[in-house]
Chain A
Amino acid sequence: MYVIETEDLTKDFPVGFWKKRPVRALDKLCLQVGRGEIFGFLGPNGAGKTTTLKLLMNLIRPTSGSARILGEPVSSVAMHSQIGYLPENPYFYDYLTPEELLTYVGSLFNQRGEALADRVSTLLDRVGLAEAGKLQLRKFSKGMIQRLGIAQAIINNPEVVFLDEPMSGLDPLGRREVREVILALKDKGVTVFFSSHILPDVEALCDRVAIINKGKLQEAGALKEILDVGAQGHEVILTGVKPEFADLLRNLCAEMRSMGERLHLRVSNTGQMQSLLSHVFENEIELISINPMRPSLEDRFLQEIRKQPAGEGMNR
């Protein structure tokens, strides 16, 4: 059973003042997320990421299609006790202190008494807000609000956590802290579904990703598989190559560049790699590294986004 599953999930929004016409924000989205995965949901502004998250949180109702979380329809209130959600650009009651907010949120999960007080204190400590526990939220920076947002999303020890742009507004230290929280959740077996613009974070954290644009799913799969599409062979770095071997090596690879004492060789197939390596070992050339030459997630992301012709679908 998938933890998160959508089937032809579609959402139209009416636009216009007098004569309303439907505009499609999400078009037949089919996604499956397995237990314990960190799933990255990528897309440019207006791609439909937040619409998808709002549909999953039952904040808006689908025009057609369906979505299930933990095997339950998204409208199930009982199921919501097992999930956590951080909205995009979260805003919380600014007249409350973080302690009061988390106590309030905890009480919505039927938590109470000393256990709740302990949980609140642990969470504030975990997101680095222990010292600001009694400060009113109107005095909080965006980064502090974001961290508090993550704390309120995991107060119930959820099985699945949905984070809408969790790194937004955070400085490098804050991003690192959030990354650590997400990885700690994964260690506990929690499934994390998060949308983000910050691709290096997605690349560093996610097991699988989906790319969405103009309401349509462009690609979904394991991060490795997505990046392997368009892999351009391997890069072999050598040092201590005598000049008389350089020409020979050039014939054994697709491309060679000299950088100081090092040679960077691009090898495009297995045959080339075998010949090159046997030559390297026979002639006692020092091997520094062999790395697959894959496009970055950013390259793949831009590639997918550019695939769709302008004007198709809608921005939201």
Chain B
Amino acid sequence: MYKILAIARNTFRENVRDRILYNLVLFALVMILSAVALGQLALGQERKVIIDLGLSSISIFGVLIAVFIGISLVYKEIEKRTVYALLAKPIYRRDLILGKYLGLLFTLLVNVAVMTAGLMLTLVYFGETGAQAYLRLLPAVYLIFLSLMVTTGLALLFSTFSTPALSALFTLFLWVIGHFNGDLLGIGKLTESAPLKWLGGALYYLLPNFSNFETIGSRNIIQSVAYSKPIDPSAIGWITIYGLIYSSLLVALSAAIFSRRDFK
């Protein structure tokens, strides 16, 4: 475990010293602050607009960080040949994958925390008082982070065998599809064809379901937070289990592919 943490620490350090990260975080904070201007237009609804835009910014920029850093996690090690000296050390290839994944997750955790702090400061500026109002943000931020765990897993998986450009394309493609996952099941119900039904069902269960992290029941989580509606804790528990299992499978698959690779 010590070795995995050493790899994770080094990955975190690599990300922290990467300019792309700062650009994205800065841009996210600017987006959150721009919510202030938009809030002025929505008379009496400032707080809702700020929360809505702020959480959406955290989610979108989190995805961009997860994708653009995730896709080069393993590829860069191979392309720059740092992997040669690394794999000659007494580490399992799966440990390298897990360490890199955890390192990027920690980077995302810090970034999401910074962006959330930015959002909270904006709310302070608008005279939001009471810890309750801030605590209400946390379930939504937590679910955003869970969805980022899955997105990072996808980027990591593709980076073990593909180029960064293709990995970005595949990851973003699955991220978009993953938001309309429910429709796949819908297609299966509408069609008479048994193979199509089967295919729709198989894809529904196989592909990541990102809408799980955004809606509980029929209600959008960000909207619930913005309108101070209660969120069912048991639903969050189930989504947590789903996120952990799905991302664990992605990491395991990445490790299996990476373990079989030849480094020519």
Which interface class (under 10, 10 to 19, 20 to 34, 35 or more) fits B? 20 to 34
* Cβ-Cβ contact count across A and B, 8 Å cutoff: 83
| A80 x B89 contact (CB < 8 A) | yes
Which interface class (under 10, 10 to 19, 20 to 34, 35 or more) fits A? 35 or more
Residue A213, interface by CB 8 Å: no
Contact (A87, B84) CB under 8 Å given A77-B92, A109-B90 = yes
Partner of A60, one of B10, B91, B263: B263
Residue A92, interface by CB 8 Å: yes
Q: How far is the CA of A14 from the CA of B83 in the complex (A)?
A: 22
CB distance from B8 to the nearest CB of A (A): 11
Residues of B within 8 A of A107 (CB): 2-3, 6
Residues of A within 8 A of B81 (CB): 87, 89-91
Residues of A within 8 A of B84 (CB): 54, 57, 59, 85, 87, 90
CB distance from A145 to the nearest CB of B (A): 11
Residues of A within 8 A of B89 (CB): 80-81, 105, 108-109
Per-residue interface assignment for chain A, residues 101 to 131, with 1 indicating a CB less than 8 Å from any chain B CB and 0 otherwise: 0001101111010000000000000000000
| B3 x A54 contact (CB < 8 A) | no
| B90 x A60 contact (CB < 8 A) | no
Contacting residues of chain B (99-117) with chain A, CB-CB under 8 angstroms: none
| B82 x A92 contact (CB < 8 A) | yes
Residue B219, interface by CB 8 Å: no
CB distance from A77 to the nearest CB of B (A): 5
User: Closest residue to B96 on the A side, CB-wise?
Assistant: A108
Partner of A108, one of B17, B80, B90, B262: B90
Tell which of B2, B90, B91 has the most Cβ of chain A within 10 Å. B90
Residue A9, interface by CB 8 Å: no
CB distance from A4 to the nearest CB of B (A): 14
Residue B13, interface by CB 8 Å: yes
Partner of A58, one of B10, B13, B87: B87
Residues of B within 8 A of A81 (CB): 89-90
Contact (A108, B6) CB under 8 Å given A57-B87, A91-B81 = yes
| B82 x A93 contact (CB < 8 A) | yes
Contacting residues of chain B (1-57) with chain A, CB-CB under 8 angstroms: 2-3, 6-7, 9-10, 13-14, 17-18
Contacting residues of chain A (88-102) with chain B, CB-CB under 8 angstroms: 89-93, 95-96, 100
Contact (A59, B85) CB under 8 Å given A77-B91, A96-B13, A108-B91 = no
Residue B190, interface by CB 8 Å: no
| A83 x B88 contact (CB < 8 A) | yes
| A91 x B90 contact (CB < 8 A) | no
CB distance from B45 to the nearest CB of A (A): 44
Residue A66, interface by CB 8 Å: no
| B88 x A93 contact (CB < 8 A) | no
Residue A204, interface by CB 8 Å: no
Residues of B within 8 A of A54 (CB): 84, 263-264
| B10 x A87 contact (CB < 8 A) | no
Per-residue interface assignment for chain A, residues 65 to 91, with 1 indicating a CB less than 8 Å from any chain B CB and 0 otherwise: 000000000000111110111110111
Per-residue interface assignment for chain B, residues 101 to 137, with 1 indicating a CB less than 8 Å from any chain A CB and 0 otherwise: 0000000000000000000000000000000000000
Closest 9 CB pairs of A and B: A85-B88, A107-B6, A81-B90, A87-B84, A80-B90, A60-B262, A95-B17, A108-B89, A59-B263
